[in-house]
Each structure stands twice: as structure tokens, then as C-alpha cells.
Chain A
Amino acid sequence: MFKPVLLHKTGPQIAQEIQACIGCNECLLSCPALTEPITIDVLNCQTLSGAISPAVARFARSCYQCGACVDPCPVGLHRDAMMMLLKVRLLRSAWEE
């Protein structure tokens, strides 16, 4: 049985934020944990649904929620919350396996 988990934002709120993402990459450019090339289109798609590629999975595990990605966002979105959701999806897919 899953225990309740408090996320930064709910799933639908994160989906809404990803829709509002303008793809400027400022969040990725400011990330201290990103060590290999990942593009924003791939990250946004894989955050919400579907298979998570090995590179995105590594990035999600590397993310330590420092929040450096939040201030540079010109639109006021929360990449840290999106990364948390991605982490949770990764965990859940591991549990299901």
C-alpha cells in the first residue's frame, strides 16, 4: 500500500506548468547536477508520461532539489517540483518491476 507523499505541487499542477514551459532552457543551464546533454523537449515529455530514458533517469536521480532551477525561470515555474515528480515516477516504476 502506498503511503501519502507530499509533493511540491500536485500532478495536474505540474502538468499545467509543463504546458506553460517556454523551453528557454534557463533551468537546465543553471543546474549544478546536470552532467550530460538533455534537451527540454525530451525532459518535459518524459516528466509527464511514458518511458523514461536512461539519461533522464540518471538526471532525475542526480537532482538533489537544490532549487537553483527555480529563480532563473522567466515564467515562474518550478522545475524542482517537476523533477520531484520524475523521481517519484522512477521509484514507482521500480516498485512495479
Chain B
Amino acid sequence: MSSHKSVPVPAYTRTGRPHLDSANIVIVGNGIAGVTAALEARRYMPNTRIVIITEQIHPTINTPALKQFVLGKLERDQLLAYPAGTERAERIHVVTARVAYIHARQKFVELDGGRGFGYEALLIATGSTPRGLPSHLPGRNFDGVLTLHRLQDYLDLRRRLHEVHEAAVIGGGPHAIETVMALLQRGIHVHWLIRSATLMPHVLDQHASEMVIARVRRAGASVYMETEAVGIMGRVGTVAGIVTKQKQLLPCQLVLTCTGTQPACTLAEHCDTPVHCERGILVDDQLRTSVPNVYAAGDVAALENPQTGIYETRAQWYAAVLQGRIAGAVMAGREAPESFGVQWHATHLGELSMLTVGNPLATGNGVTEMIDTSQGGYRRMTLVDNRLIGYLSLGATQPDSLAIKRIIDDGLAVHDITKALLRGSFDARKYLSQLRSRAAHSILIPQKGYVAVANPPSQVRLLPVTGPLAATEALAQEQGKAHSTQPLPERVQVDAYANSKDEVSPFAGNLPALPELVASGPAPSKRHSTPRKL
């Protein structure tokens, strides 16, 4: 439940400018990126004025948990991303309104109705909008045609499910797969229409795609590849079936569109100073846009992929949380607390757990590709110079996904663990513990190091070592316990990050020191610490 003050103000002054309130930090959007940024900024600046302006009429929710909500495993109260009342407890002012224009030169935003907020720093966290069905598709406005994106869509879907026997799902991404499986679990027959020849062609190879589709077929869905809807049939204004381009009529009472999202850049186009957009608002590693004092984070922000150099959005939960933290810190005048690292996505695709990190489909000179299909799963790794640059796993259980991301981000040599990674039996805790024990030495002896990643097709970009464990890797190599079988290139050398907060102190074990750990959320007020009923 958002807390905001309704203060009636005259629309405009006699000079024609809106009445201006002001805040140090103004955030547009109360998705996970926006609220995380607000909370992070509050951590650093206890007395600064922070305002969130949002059109959303409910607090921040865990949107990935909406599929559990549809299945009836969760109720609405359990969808909250932060305990109720968090914004109020942290003195973050929430205003329910639409931002109409950004006056970047005068540093204020204008809201519908004439109110305005001056700012020192502005964060655009407007998220994404669904692509939906083509505007010309006949029947797209029939009752029973839903585009699943927001909480309201899932509320609508949950109310309808008891009266549905057959449904059609349109889309070929993880969202569509999760929706298909959720409907099958509710006993609904599903017709799944996929436009491309394989699933998620930028993420999964042919084998992995076929594996997922086979599982979904075994679960009872009818899957139609290279198929598109050309029309929706209705009866008295309600969905009765869907017509494919192969001229098949598939009966159904529900058509669910899961065709992906696009960054919500509309606000960026309403600014007196151009905000550079290209498949998202372009930002640097500090989430700064092309306009001074304006930042962007979450689904709307396009960051440089460190492996390909291409600017692209990362429309994933963890990426949005991380960007929110970094934006909050930077707007509060601090250094970014961590780097983004490579792309990372872990989820369930039906009965299968999927993990994709970095660029597992990379090809080119210097790129080694390894595949393993044992134990009923599928794993694909790409390596350059004994460094992991991409990892794809499909199987019954999820590996230690963040540990594998660390290995890629930190450019650690994987000679000793290649087999385990390939077989899906990698023990991340043991491996990282062994590295940390060497880190205790490196705390005393500064080291240098580097990492190489591949840019398709054949270039190798050398990046400076960034990870906290990279120092240990360099030390291990100096001491002759090198994992790498080849000498490391010497073109780029930087001082390694020797005193990471993540390293084990040799004197106190790895207990968290007081004050407490880095927190991404607030300490809830005692008023809200009583348990709530499920």
C-alpha cells in the first residue's frame, strides 16, 4: 500500500510554471529497481529527501513470483518485495501520478495536473511494456485475450481459470514456457504457438531447445513451432478459438500473450534535453544517461555487454535489483558498490532448471566449446584461454548459479574444475573456500592480474581484473599452482583488488563483522515485524 500525501495545489502559477515541490532524489517508477535505489540512497543519506513518483497503484511486488500466484501457491500479501510500510518507515515519499515531462535544464519534472518536483538527481526506472499482439490481429479485443505483464493481468487470469478448459499461449520465451506449465498444472489443455523454429534462439542452442519442448510435450501441451496466430475467433464477444497461419482452428477460451517486453522509453522522449535511447536508455557503468543528473535503471536501461560491447537491456529481476543498488549509491554521491558483470539468468522452464551465464553460444577463433549430455541434463560451456566465458545448463536441479557467474566475472581459470562444471557436479562452496584460503595470503601480498574474454567472431578483448578473488588466482599462478596451462597475456596489468570485503579474515573466520552486512533492504520497523497470516 503506497503512502503518499494528497496536497491540493493550484495547477499553475500566474507565470505558467507548475507549482514545484522539491526533493534531493526523484525516482520515476516503483518497480524493484526504483525502490531498491531509494532504499540504497537512504542508507547512505539518512536526511536527504527522496521521492518516488509512480503510476502503479500497489507497492513493489516480486513479479517473478506471479506464476506461483496464478497457481494458487501464494496470496497477494506474499507477493510484496519489501515488508508493508517500508517506504513510510524509511521516509520515502511516494506520489501516485504520471510524469509528463522532464525539464532537465531547470532540473524539475512536471506531473500531470501541473504539479512538479525539482531534483538534484533523477532516476528513470519506468521498466518495460509488453509487446502484445499485433494491432491488426482480428479478434484481439475479445474478452479472454490477455497480455500477461502486470499484477492486474494475473489477477484477471486467476479469476478466469476455473471456467477454462483449453487455452492458447503465444510466445517463445521463458515467460511463455512458465505460463504453459502453470496452466498445465491447473489441468488446462494448452495450445502453445511459437513463431521461431527453436525456443529462445539467442540463449538456447538447438539441442537445449528440443529438450525443453520435449518436456513440455510430455507434460501434455500441444506445441506448434513456426506458427503464428492470424486471427482470434469469438462468440458473443468472448474467445472461442484461435486460427493459425497453417489454417488450423484451435478451440480455446483464453488466449495469453507472452511475446516479450520492450523498454518503456516514453518519458525519455519527453525531455527538453535529448536522452539517448537505442533499444533502451543508454547508460554507462554508473547508470548515468546522456543528460546530466539523470540516471536510468532496471528494464528501461541499456548497458554495455562486457563480452560483446553491444548496448542492451537486461530485463531480469536480479539485474534490476543490482542496478537499483548501484543507482542509489551513485545518486548519493558514493562509488558503485559492485559491477554488473556478465548476463545471468536462472529460472525454471517447466520441470527443467535453466541457467545461462555470459555467452554460451559464442563462436570464433580461440573459443573452445564443450558439451555434456550425461545424467539426463545438458550443459554447454565456452572457454577462452582456460577462462570460462559462457555456461548453459539444463537439468533437474539448478547449479550454484551465482558462483558460476563469479567465476566468469572474475576471470578465474577453470582447468581444475572443467570436468565438474561440465558434468554438473561442481561444488562451488569447496572451490571458492579453497580460493579464499589463498586469499588470506594475498591480503598481505598485493598481486596483479587480468582476464581475457572473447568478442565474436575472433577478437579477444582483455579486461582488467575486477573480481575480489582474482588476486588469489594471480597468486596461485605465481606460486606454481597455476590452473592455466598457458602463460597469461601481458598486455594489460592492473593492481588486483586485494582487500575485498568478501575475503575471509585469517584472524576471525568469515563471521560478518559488526556493523552488519551490506544490505539491499531496510531493517523493517518493529511495528511491522509481527508475522502475517499466509
Contacts and interface: CB of A to CB of B under 8 A. Distances in A.
A15 B512 CA distance: 11
A49 B523 CA distance: 6
B521 A44 contact: yes
Closest 8 CB pairs of A and B: A50-B523, A4-B509, A23-B62, A76-B401, A53-B529, A76-B398, A22-B64, A11-B512
Given A46-B529, A75-B346, A12 B78 contact: no
Contacts of B502: 10, 12-13
B7 interface: no
Interface string B493-506: 00000000110100
Contacts of A77: 401-402
Q: Which of A22, A44, A77 has the most CB of B within 10 A?
A: A22
14 contacts: A4-B510, A13-B402, A14-B517, A22-B64, A24-B62, A39-B80, A42-B528, A45-B83, A53-B529, A55-B530, A75-B318, A76-B399, A85-B512, A88-B512
A66 interface: no
B517 A15 contact: yes
Given A8-B429, A48-B517, A76-B355, A41 B348 contact: no
A74 B322 CA distance: 19
A38 B529 CA distance: 10
Contacts of A18: 520-521
Contacts of A53: 524, 526, 529-531
A26 B529 contact: no
A94 interface: no
Interface string A24-62: 111001000000111111101110111101011000000
Interface of A: 2-20, 22-26, 29, 36-42, 44-46, 48-51, 53, 55-56, 71, 73-78, 85, 88-89, 92
A38 B520 contact: no
B522 to A, nearest CB: 7
Q: Which of A14, A49, A55, A85 has the most CB of B within 10 A?
A: A49
Interface in B59-87: 62, 64-65, 67-68, 73-74, 77-83
Nearest to B436: A10
Interface in B227-262: none
A3 B508 CA distance: 6
Q: Which of A41, A46, A71 has the most CB of B within 10 A?
A: A41
A48 B516 contact: yes
A2 B509 contact: yes
Contacts of A25: 65, 68, 73-74, 78
B531 A74 contact: no
B398 A51 contact: no
A29 to B, nearest CB: 7
A1 B521 CA distance: 30
A15 B519 contact: yes
A75 B398 contact: yes
Contacts of B534: 37, 39
Q: Which of A15, A23, A85 has the most CB of B within 10 A?
A: A23
B529 A19 contact: no
A12 B338 CA distance: 11
B79 to A, nearest CB: 7
Contacts of A24: 62, 64-65, 67-68, 74
A50 B522 contact: yes
A13 B467 CA distance: 13
A90 to B, nearest CB: 13
B533 A37 contact: yes
Interface string B366-407: 000000000000000000000000000000011111100000
Given A40-B78, A51-B529, 20 more contacts: A4-B510, A12-B501, A18-B520, A22-B65, A22-B317, A24-B65, A24-B67, A24-B74, A25-B68, A26-B68, A37-B533, A39-B83, A40-B62, A41-B82, A51-B524, A53-B524, A76-B346, A76-B400, A77-B402, A88-B511
